[in-house]
Amino acid sequence: MHKRRLGRTDLLVSQICLGSMTWGQQNTEAEGHAQMDLAFSRGVNFIDTAELYPIPPRAETQGWTERIIGSWMKTKGNRDKVVIASKVVGRTANTWFRGDRPSKLVRADIFDAIEKSLAKLGTDYIDLYQIHWPDRDIPWGSNPTRVGAVARRADAVGAPAGETPVAETLGVFEELVKAGKVRHLGLSNESSWGVMRFLAESDKGIGPRVASLQNAYNLVNRTFEVNLAEVCEREEIAFLPYSPLAQGYLTGKYDHGARPQGSRSQLFNRGQRYETPNAAEVLLQYNELARSFGMEPALFANAYVTSRPFVTANIVGATSVAQLDMALSSAEVTWTEEMQKAVDAIHQRVGNPCP
């Protein structure tokens, strides 16, 4: 398992990062521990989590994923060997994160989040602390293929105040870094403008410099390549793609409208991002392409993401050890020019149906 530098930092992270969003809901504590055992035995040293997890977010389960990671590290006594990435929620009307109020990216809320995450993880610091989504009122994922009117968030009765300035949020992260609670800052679900705005403020001496960006990236969503790839390359920001399997739609298990018992699509009504017009046909094309190369669609889709030259670490997720084993094996796949040309030929025809 190759290690790569996380942006300009001194952190070396495995080319595959272990995602954890199912632990505490679809997966038990023991199953989460088993996944971490397997991943670390194969050379992984990087785990991604969030105060929000597990998914779907619920007040009853919120924070359980961090607790499971914390109990594993306590059992193993290996905190010094684990690179932990967690996230603070962006602006949300849900009150269960802060206990009695909506949340936004201001000092009181970020400090509340970090203290709770540190306690659940059983650690004094988080290596990479990420903003889960922006404070701004923009489409989820921040890189849509179409937009309507773009306006700044207005104040509303009973809602938090308007947008929190980036400089204000960065100032809070500067406090966290100086206090030793956070080593590095990362962004997630962010746009090119957003990344550059954070960099502009840090270039003025306000807060820490952004080290990484975590956005969705897969065969049916290559929007990162349009502008963000250049931003990350030139600014030396690590790219940590999530959802390489498009929430399971690139495994083939949902082909032809199938909904297997116990699958995320069958359990939760959260697949809209991958159920857009024409998406089913496009997903089937990629899954059949994988089979034409003699590969399982899940292995093919993960190998595509893992092999990209602009990817620092592919964040993989699984609900079983067998699924995780296949995801980890993507690091061993030789991605050929023939495969890339075949993928690009489909993409040329269909673009990004699931941004």
The three state secondary structure string of 281-306 is: HHHHHHHHHHHHCCCCHHHHHHHHHH
State the angle between helix axes of 337-350 and 279-292 in degrees (0 to 180), rounded to the nearest 10: 170
Rounded distance between C-alpha atoms, residue 300 and residue 245, angstroms: 9
3-state helix, strand, coil in the chain (%, to 5): 40, 15, 45
Q: Are 83 and 44 in contact (CB under 8 A)?
A: no
For CA atoms 343, 345, 346, 349, give the dihedral sign: positive
What mean pLDDT do residues 138-164 have? 69
What mean pLDDT do residues 277-298 have? 97
Q: Is residue 96 predicted with pLDDT exceeding 60?
A: yes
The pLDDT assigned to 158 comes to 44
Rounded distance between C-alpha atoms, residue 339 and residue 58, angstroms: 40
Instruction: Record the pTM.
Output: 0.94
Mean pLDDT lowest among 177-181, 183-187, 259-263, 271-275 = 259-263
Enumerate the H helices of 217-335 as residue ranges. Answer: 228-235, 264-267, 279-292, 297-307, 321-329
Rounded distance between C-alpha atoms, residue 320 and residue 109, angstroms: 34
pLDDT digits (tens, 9 = 90+) for 49-69: 999 999 999 999 999 999 999
What mean pLDDT do residues 200-211 have? 97
Mean pLDDT lowest among 87-101, 134-148, 260-274, 288-302 = 260-274
Nearest to 242 by CA among 49, 96, 43: 49
CB proximity list for 162: less than 8 A, separation 6 or greater: 152, 153, 154, 155
As a whole number, the mean pLDDT across the chain is 93
What mean pLDDT do residues 19-34 have? 97
The pLDDT assigned to 289 comes to 98
* Percentage of the chain lying above the pLDDT 90 cut: 85
Rounded distance between C-alpha atoms, residue 336 and residue 61, angstroms: 42
The pLDDT assigned to 54 comes to 97
The pLDDT assigned to 153 comes to 60
Mean pLDDT lowest among 80-84, 87-91, 235-239, 272-276 = 272-276
Q: Is residue 123 predicted with pLDDT exceeding 60?
A: yes
> Dihedral (C-alpha) 96, 99, 104, 110: value to the nearest 10 degrees?
-120
The pLDDT assigned to 151 comes to 63
Rounded distance between C-alpha atoms, residue 298 and residue 214, angstroms: 20
- Identify the active-site residue in 53, 242, 286, 304: 53
Residue 155: pLDDT band by 50, 70, 90 thresholds? very low
Residue 271: pLDDT band by 50, 70, 90 thresholds? low
Residue 137: pLDDT band by 50, 70, 90 thresholds? confident
Backbone angles phi, psi at 26, to 5 degrees: -80, -25
What mean pLDDT do residues 250-265 have? 82
Beta bridge partners of 84: 47
The pLDDT assigned to 145 comes to 85
Q: Is residue 210 predicted with pLDDT exceeding 60?
A: yes
Whether residue 56 is preceded by a cis peptide bond, meaning omega within 30 degrees of 0, is: yes
Q: Residue type at 302?
A: N
Ordered structural domains, the chain, with CATH: 3-145+160-350 (3.20.20.100)
What mean pLDDT do residues 195-199 have? 97
Backbone angles phi, psi at 292, to 5 degrees: -65, -25
53 is catalytic: yes
Helix (H, G, I), strand (E, B) or coil at 36: helix
138 versus 228: the higher-pLDDT residue is 228
What mean pLDDT do residues 297-325 have? 97
Residue 246: pLDDT band by 50, 70, 90 thresholds? very high
Residue 152: pLDDT band by 50, 70, 90 thresholds? low
Give the strand pairing for 3-5 and 12-14.
antiparallel
